Structure 1
Amino acid sequence: MGNDIVRLHHIGHIVEDLAQAIGLYERMGFLVPPPGLPAMPRSEGAQLEPFGAANTHADFPGSFLELATRVKDGEGAGLPADARLVPLEAPPEVLPVLVERINEAGANLGAFLERFEGLHILMFSSPAIDEAATRLTAAGVRHGGVNTVRRAAPRGAKVPVETVRYLEIDGDEPGGRSGAVTEGRVGVVADLDPDVQGARGLDHPNGAVELVGAVLCVADLELGAVQRRYETYLGRPARRSGPARVFDLDGAALTLVPESGLAALLPGERPVALPAFVGYTVAVRDLALTRDLLRRNGLPVRETPSGEVFVPSDAALGAAVAFRPASAG
C-alpha cells in the first residue's frame, strides 16, 4: 500500500509587512504575484468580508512558498496596494465550521508573529487526504477534519474553479490552539491539480523549480519525542544523518535537527525559539546563476557543508532560504 503523504506541499513565511516580504522575495529571484485577500460571507446571505490572512505564493509545479500576514476583521490596512479580494465558496452546511477554522487560522498567525517573524507553516501533500485523515485519527492525532474551499482558478486553467482540501493538526499540549502544534501550523493538503498549478507563473528568474526541503530545529532533549510525533504524522520512519533525523519524501525531505547541530547544517544560524522551522530549500536549474543573482541584488550568501547556498535568516525576515541544484538527490 502506498503512502498517503508523499511530498512537501508548501511552507509558510509569516511576516509583519507583506509588501516588504514580496520585495525581498523578488530580490531573491522569485516571481511573486499580487497578494490575495480571502473573503467570505460570515453567514448565509451576508456580504463578502476579508478576514483571516492575506497571502501570496511563489509557485512551482508541485509545491509553493507562501508569504502571509494576519488580516484584522474586515480590514485590508497595511497590505500592498495591488492586493485583491479572493472570494471563497463553501456549502451552507459547512460555512460556520469553515469560518471558525479561518478565524482560528488568523488568530494563530497573530500568535505566530508574537513569537517571531519567520517560518510557521509546513503542509504536506497527499494523493489520498481522506485516507490520511482516517489514519491520523486512528493513531490518536487530533485534527479538525478535512476542510474544502473553492476559489477561482487562474486564467488559462481548464477549469473555472480550484478546489482545495486540507486538514490542520491540533496540538496536544495544555492550552494548545486548534489548528496549530508547538512549532506552528502543520497539516496535509490534497495534491495540487497540475492543470491549475501549471496556469500560474512558474518561470522564476532565479531558476527555482520546486520546494525540496524544510528544517525543523528542536531542543536536544526533545529530538526523540518530535521524531516520534512526525513519524506518526507521516506514516514513515526517519533515518539518521549525523545528529539530525531525516524524513525522505518524494523528491524532498523534512530534516529535524537538534539545537546543538544547527550551526553545522546551516552555518551561522541560531534558532530564535524552540521548536521552530528555521529554513527551507528550493531546487534551481543552475546554482551558479542563482548565486550570482543573489549577490547582484545585494543579498548575503553563505554555503552549507553539502554545497547548498543560502540567504541567512537575519537577511531574510527570519528564514534561512537555501538553494541547491535540481539534479541533486
Structure 2
Amino acid sequence: MATEITRLHHVGHVVRDMPAALDLYRCLGFVTPAPGYPAMPPREGGAPEPFGAANTHADFPGDFLELATVVTADGRVPADAQLVPLQAPPDVLPALVERINATRANLAECLERFEGLHILMFSSSDIDATATRLTAAGAGHGGVNTVRRPAGGEVETVRYLEIDGARPGSAAEGRIGVVADLDPRIQATRLVDHPNGAIGLVDAVLCAADAELDAVQARYERYLGRAPRAQGAARIFDLDGATLTLVPASALAMLFPGEQAPALPALVSCTVAVRDLAAVEKLVRNNKVPLVRASSGDVFVPAAAALGTAIAFRQAEESAGQGAATTVR
C-alpha cells in the first residue's frame, strides 16, 4: 500500500572525533563541507566559543548523509569549522540554547551506547498526513515541528516529526522520524560532484535480536504504513528508490561478512549508490581503507574501519530528472 512516505531523507552517523570522521569520509570520496558549530561567548564581552552539537552533510539530490558530534571541552574542532554565533532576540535565546543542549544530550547518550549510526529519517510528501496516520496507528510522536534556517541567501523551512519510543524523540535504536521532502530548488544549491560518484542513499540496515524481529517489523509497519517483503531472513521495506532492511542478528554476517551489531537493536549500515563501483573500489583502496565484498555484490567498509558503522557502495544507474539510484546492475 502506497503512503505519503517517499524515500530515505537522511541517516546520521554520530562520531566522537569530527576531524577523524571528516578524514574518513573524504578518503571514501565524499565531499563534506566544513561542519557548523553553534557558538556563544562563555562570558560577557568574550569571543564566541563552540558548544552543544556540530554537524555537516554529504548531500545528494533527494537525501543526504549526516555527520554529527557533541562539543566537549577537550574535543578536537576541525581547522575549517564554521562557528555560527547564536543571534536571537533576548526572549528567544534561552529556548534556542535549551534546544541545542537537548540535541547535545541526545547525541551524548547515543555515543554512550556506541559510535555509529543513530539517526534514521524518512521523507514525506505530506508531513501533516504522516502525523495523522501515525496517531491513528498508535505510533507516538511529538507532533510536527517547524524550523527555518539560512540556505544560500534564502530561508529554508524544515518541517519534521520525531517518533517516540524508548524515550521522547528516540526509539530503542536511535532518533527515528519523518521530514517533509527536501525542497529540490534549495537542495540543488548544495550539490557537488563527489569524487566517488555518489548519487543517493539506497538502503539502511537495522539489526534486531532474533526474538524481537517480529516486534520491530510491526513498529516499522506502523511508521511507514506498509508491509515488508521477505528476502531470506531479512525483511525489506520498499521505498521510492531505496529500502529499509531489517535483519536478525543471527543473519547479519550473511549480508555483511564479519560484521556484528554493537547493540540490539541497532542501525548497522547505510548504502550509497555510485555511478562507477569499480572506480570507487580503486579510490578507496588507494586511500588505504579496507573494503569487503558483500553477498549482494556491494562493497563495504567494515564498521571497525569506519567509526562504528558499515558504509556500503552499490552500482546504480541514474533515473531521469532525479539523479537518484533506481536500478541496480
Alignment match, 1:304: 294
Deviation at 1:51, TM superposition (A): 4.8
Deviation at 1:310, TM superposition (A): 0.6
Contact 2:17 2:75 in 1 (8 A): no
Contact 2:61 2:191 in 1 (8 A): no
SS at match of 1:281: strand
> Which amino acid in 2 is paired with 1:27?
C
Contact 1:259 1:271 in 2 (8 A): yes
Matches within 5 A, 1:9-158: 9-38=9-38, 51-71=51-71, 78-86=76-84, 100-154=98-152
**C-alpha separation between the residues in 1 aligned to 2:12 and 2:253?**
22
> Which amino acid in 2 is paired with 1:3?
T
Deviation at 1:132, TM superposition (A): 0.5
Deviation at 1:85, TM superposition (A): 3.3
Alignment match, 1:44: none
**C-alpha separation between the residues in 2 aligned to 1:232 and 1:161?**
33
Contact 1:149 1:163 in 2 (8 A): yes
**Residue in structure 2 matching 1:178, options 151, 168, 179:** 168
**Residue in structure 2 matching 1:167, options 161, 164, 174:** 161
> Which amino acid in 1 is paired with 2:163?
I
1:242-281 superposed Cα distances (whole Å, 9 cap, x missing partner): 0000000000000000000000001110111110000010
Matches within 5 A, 1:188-267: 188-267=178-257
**C-alpha separation between the residues in 2 aligned to 1:49 and 1:81?**
14
**C-alpha separation between the residues in 1 aligned to 2:221 and 2:97?**
31
Alignment match, 1:7: 7
Q: TM-score, normalised by structure 1?
A: 0.88
Deviation at 1:125, TM superposition (A): 0.6
Q: How many corresponding residue pairs?
A: 314
Deviation at 1:102, TM superposition (A): 4.1
**C-alpha separation between the residues in 2 aligned to 1:81 and 1:304?**
36
**C-alpha separation between the residues in 1 aligned to 2:291 and 2:99?**
39
Deviation at 1:52, TM superposition (A): 3.8
Contact 1:217 1:258 in 2 (8 A): yes
Structure 1 runs not aligned, ≥5 long = 42-46
**C-alpha separation between the residues in 1 aligned to 2:149 and 2:198?**
26
Classify 1:11/1:184 alpha carbon distance in 2 versus 1 (closer, same or farther; 3 Å).
Answer: same
Residues 1:315 and 2:309 are matched in the alignment: no
1:35-84 superposed Cα distances (whole Å, 9 cap, x missing partner): 0124699xxxxx99965420000000000110000135xx7953212221
Deviation at 1:318, TM superposition (A): 0.6
> Which amino acid in 2 is paired with 1:260?
S
SS at match of 1:12: strand
**C-alpha separation between the residues in 2 aligned to 1:67 and 1:216?**
18
What's the RMSD between the two structures over aligned residues? 2.5
Contact 2:210 2:249 in 1 (8 A): yes
Contact 1:35 1:54 in 2 (8 A): yes
Contact 2:160 2:178 in 1 (8 A): yes
Contact 1:89 1:149 in 2 (8 A): no
1:197-246 superposed Cα distances (whole Å, 9 cap, x missing partner): 11114210001000110000000000000000000000111111100000
1:76-135 superposed Cα distances (whole Å, 9 cap, x missing partner): 953212221346889999987766554332211001101111110000011111111111
Structure 2 runs not aligned, ≥5 long = 42-46, 318-326
**C-alpha separation between the residues in 2 aligned to 1:222 and 1:92?**
48
Deviation at 1:34, TM superposition (A): 0.1
Name which of structure 1's ranges 88-97 and 257-266 shifts more when overlaid on structure 2.
88-97
Contact 1:202 1:209 in 2 (8 A): no
